Amino acid sequence: MRHEHGELCWICELPMLFRGRFLSHLPLSHDVRASLDHVVPRFKKGQTVSENLKLAHRYCNLIRGVQEIDDAMRQRCKSRIVYRNPEVMAELIIKHRQIQRNSKWASNPAPSNSYAK
């Protein structure tokens, strides 16, 4: 699931914490841990199939409930996640940027020097 959707919460667009990564001392019920969210909620007859599931912070998933996502909800979730967990989010954002930087370098190797022959 993570390889398809990435490491960002689909609601607030901030990095999520996955089991066994970085801050493993945090409980599984922590706000910033990843959870599966139904795009079309089960309450509205949404199916539990991969096409209807996206990754979200536990907190964002709970706040969303069965509501449609709009910019106000995204901003509310983002500010609450950061406000409630400033140290955790700072570390997650730093780690996420390091991963992005490393993957860019891996996918874009340095150009060869054509003059060195």
Q: Domain locations in the chain?
A: 2-101
The predicted-structure confidence for 33-43, as pLDDT tens digits, reads as follows 888 899 998 88
Quote the pTM value: 0.68
- At the top level of CATH, the class of 2-101 is mainly alpha
pLDDT tens, residue by residue, 48-91: 898 999 999 888 998 888 888 889 888 988 888 888 888 888 88
Tell me the C-alpha distance between 85 and 80, whole Å: 8
